[in-house]
Amino acid sequence: MKKLQKSNLQSVSGSALPYIVVVAAFFIVTLLQKSGNLEQHMQGMLVPVCCYIVMALSLNLTVGIMGELSIGHAGFMSLGAFSGVVASQSLIDAVPNTALRLALSIACGACVAAVGGFLIGLPVLRLRGDYLAIVTLAFGEIIRDIITCLIVGHDKNGLHILFNFRGTKTVADLELVEGGLPIIKGAQGAIGTTKISSFGAGVILILIALFIILNFIKSRTGRAVIAIRDNRIAAESVGVEVMKNKMIAFVISTTLAGAAGALYGLNYTSLAADKFDFNKSILVLVFVVLGGLGNMLGSIISATVLTLLPEVLRGFDQYRMLIYAIVLILVMLATNSPKMKALLQKLLQDVKTLLFKAVPKRKSEGEV
Amino acid sequence: MKVFEKGKMVPVPSTSIIPERDLGKPPVLECVHLGIEFGGLKAVDDFNLTVGKTEIAGLIGPNGAGKTTVFNLLTKVYTPTHGTIMLDGHDTTGKSTVQISKMGIARTFQNIRLFNNMTVEENVRVGLHNRIKYSTAEGIFRLPRFWTHEKEFHERAMELLSIFDMQDMANIKAGNLPYGAQRRLEIVRALATNPKLLLLDEPAAGMNPNETAELMENIVKIRDSFKIAVLLIEHDMKLVMGICEGICVLNFGRIIAKGTAEEIQNNPEVIKAYLGNNSMEE
Ligand SMILES: Nc1ncnc2c1ncn2[C@@H]1O[C@H](COP(=O)(O)OP(=O)(O)O)[C@@H](O)[C@H]1O
Ligand SMILES: [Mg+2]
């Protein structure tokens, strides 16, 4: 009985740990900001780090939990980024409140990426083998090309969209009326975007992504997805539908990637489609693999460390890449070794016992 | 019953041996001229078998005879190239593995196929997938139905695990279980799907004599309490002769004998097939 309770406690603390780490990091960073101890270029990294964390969490759902390789995840991020920017710029007058507009734009980016994920998953997820890797790779490249051909503007008559396949059209061809706003200018990408992303929004998005993914894993559908990953034939033999359950997981994954993209897109005044290339997809995949497949806290840590590292190492000049490589290896060792995991667990347990000891004391004081 | 095949009416061989108590009820399984070819090789050929509603039937034969292939045909892991399979009176032609599970066949695997990274209880919960349902959104947002149904998942899983006294292993990773326990867990997971017919592929393989004796008792217990039919493949003749009411012997993909334990043991064809094979011990 005691054994059971202990393991229950451990599993609860195990799933609470990522939330605790994110909230703690948020407070520490906010404190540093308020006390003026955060350098300017580090401040600029806060939102991108949040975006990459959500991207890593999202991809970990596909690669770690579902066991399918996606190497075009930046494509879904791109979908989210540009549809988020279009939504936000179109709503500037209608929704002046930036927090609300940001939320709506992120929701819009997420929805578009969800549709993208569904359309990609529909033909691919019913096949056995690594077809998803090939198709997502192509998808990432195609999305980049399409957005490069896109000219979008908004005026009081609504959205104007042009496909500039021949490269002959310009914003003027949109024929925007007085007061209209060009939003996407072909190869230049999004221009003149009003920056509305914030670190706070990024942290909230991370917490939402964690909430969705961790709860999903511990639900009926999540169990089905893990069962399919572990042993497809056995899963089918007990009546678990492969296509349907994988599709749900994949669409959740691409939805979160779209949300991350929207937050990212609204953090820059200009943004070209080239930002979301093959290298970006691989970068996110590296975060996931180094952080450990299926290990959400690992993804958070590796995405943070590896995004900030090049900035931190600027001072080291020629040793930069060497240190980067060493840290890569250390992160991998730290997040994938059972010993390190046990150590983390123990630390958390200690914190808990400290808290538990503190709580009754206060209570008894109150009673007296 | 007559079956139309290859342009002529072929009478179905009536060699089924259904226990008397099941004779009044429709059989749970009827295989008629069932067969599959792998690139010209007839792995299973003209397989005719009827299993009664609450029968424990045995499928035996030397290694490579095609026994596992029969299970793969019944569960549509392979699509039969010949013949039909009727489950509880319903034709299964064109059905998928998942649909077969929903129709009422559950199985275990010769090479154990557990969800190794999941706990024992979670393995059983996956088996309950189609019996307890709530939506993905209810799961993510932890709506009331999530809590009530997860509680039900837990209770049912524990109840099923108690068949083999495995409740205290509930939180162990399935991959870390000892061999015998893994085989038992596969049976529990299969039972979780609420089958009409349970297929066991060498359930006693790798078990010691004590474990095997216990397993024998439990198979009978499962049949009696769940009122289901069991078709099992097994090399342990003590187990087969001990609990199987009807036995079917397969050799080179063809049925060479059918009958009760006694009839099979005295059948010259069977003795010949097993000669030099040494796997048929008393
Ligand atoms: N997928 C397959 N492709 C080709 N041959 C197969 C396949 N599955 C089974 N066989 C062949 O069918 C025969 C029967 O195998 P099996 O059913 O596993 O025998 P057993 O009676 O030992 O369970 C073997 O000769 C095997 O090589
Ligand atoms: Mg076999």
A228 in Cβ contact with B115 (< 8 Å): no
Pocket of ligand 1 (CB under 6 A): B 38, 43, 61, 63-69
Of B101, B118, B142, the CB nearest to A215: B142
Q: Are residues B177 and B46 in the same domain?
A: no
**Contact B136/A240, CB-based, under 8 Å?**
no
Q: Quickly count helices (H) and strands (E) in chain A.
A: 13, 3
Q: Are residues B58 and B138 in the same domain?
A: no
Which pLDDT score is estimated for A181? Answer: 85
Q: Is B174 left (phi over 0), alpha (psi -120 to 50) or beta?
A: alpha
Q: Is residue B44 part of a domain?
A: yes
More confidently predicted of A334 and A131: A131
Q: Which residues of chain B have pLDDT under 50?
A: 1-11, 14, 280-282
**Contact B126/A240, CB-based, under 8 Å?**
yes
Which pLDDT score is estimated for A110? Answer: 98
| Structural domains in chain B (count) | 2
Q: What are the strands of the beta sheet with B56-60, ordered from one edge?
A: B105-107, B197-201, B229-233, B56-60, B246-251, B254-259
Model pLDDT for residues A41-51, shown as the tens digit of each residue: 888 899 999 99
Find where tokens 């299969």 sit.
B190
Q: Are residues B93 and B3 in the same domain?
A: yes
Q: Quickly count helices (H) and strands (E) in chain B.
A: 10, 12
Mean per-residue pLDDT, A323-344: 71
Q: Are residues B233 and B258 in the same domain?
A: yes
Q: Are residues B4 and B94 in the same domain?
A: yes
Q: Is residue B278 part of a domain?
A: yes
Q: Is residue A335 part of a domain?
A: no
Query: Which of B68, B78, B81 to probe ligand 1 with, by most ligand atoms within 8 A of CB?
Result: B68
Q: Which residue of A has its CA nearest to B190?
A: A238
Which ipTM did the prediction report? Answer: 0.91
Q: Are residues B182 and B279 in the same domain?
A: no
Mean per-residue pLDDT, A130-155: 90
Q: Are residues B186 and B205 in the same domain?
A: no
Domain end, chosen from B194, B213, B241, is at: B194
Whether residue B280 lies within 8 A of chain A, CB to CB, comes out as no
Q: Is residue B186 part of a domain?
A: yes
Mean per-residue pLDDT, A136-142: 92
Q: Is residue B85 part of a domain?
A: yes
The atom of ligand 1 lying closest to the CA of B41 is 5
Q: Is residue A150 part of a domain?
A: yes
CATH code of the domain in which B24 resides: 3.40.50.300
Which pLDDT score is estimated for A14? Answer: 55
**Domain, as residue range, for B78:** 1-104+195-282
Which pLDDT score is estimated for B129? Answer: 97
Q: Are residues B126 and B96 in the same domain?
A: no
Q: Is residue B109 part of a domain?
A: no
Give the pLDDT band of residue A366 (cuts 50, 70, 90).
very low
| Structural domains in chain A (count) | 1
Query: What are the φ and ψ backbone dihedral angles of B62, each rounded to 5 degrees?
Result: -60, 165
Q: Is residue A3 part of a domain?
A: no
Q: Which residues of A sit within 8 Å Cβ distance of B?
A: 4, 7, 211-212, 215-216, 218-224, 226-227, 230-231, 233-242, 248
Q: Are residues B97 and B200 in the same domain?
A: yes
Domain end, chosen from B194, B213, B236, is at: B194
**Contact A235/B115, CB-based, under 8 Å?**
yes
Q: Whose CA is nearest to atom 5 of ligand 1?
A: B38
- Integer-rounded Cα radius of gyration of chain B: 20
The atom of ligand 1 lying closest to the CA of B71 is 17
To the nearest whole number, what is the mean pLDDT of chain A?
86
Q: Is residue A345 part of a domain?
A: no
Q: Are residues B271 and B168 in the same domain?
A: no
**Contact B171/A7, CB-based, under 8 Å?**
yes
**Domain, as residue range, for A178:** 46-276
User: Quick check: pTM over 0.90?
Assistant: no
Chain B 44-83, CB below 8 Å of chain A: which residues?
A: 75, 77
Q: Is residue A351 part of a domain?
A: no
Whether residue B208 lies within 8 A of chain A, CB to CB, comes out as no
